[in-house]
Amino acid sequence: MEELNAIDGDPGLRAVVLGGLKAGRELIRAGAFKLYAIEVTLIEALKFLAKRYEHAAIGALASVLISALASHLGIPM
């Protein structure tokens, strides 16, 4: 099962990406955070997905989310 849920054959990489997405979501839910914390959690996870899956729907969605977050939070991209 772990191999089926792995990214590039590395089951730990999937956990890292999901962890970044979940951590970023929780920071946003909290409503008070440092921008660098969003950048190193959520934005980095989304950048990975955008690049890795650039020819798939998830890659396009990740790119759109990066742009929307950057615009909303005032993060230069």
Within-domain flag for 60: yes
Within-domain flag for 2: no
Which residue range forms the structural domain that includes residue 69? 11-73
Per-residue pLDDT of the chain (77 residues; tens, 9 = 90+): 345 566 767 777 888 888 999 999 999 899 888 888 998 899 999 999 999 999 999 999 999 999 999 998 887 77
Within-domain flag for 6: no
Within-domain flag for 63: yes
Within-domain flag for 3: no
Q: How many domains does the chain have?
A: 1
Provide the pLDDT for residue 47.
94
Q: pTM here?
A: 0.81
Count CB atoms within 10 A of the CB of residue 2. 10
Within-domain flag for 34: yes
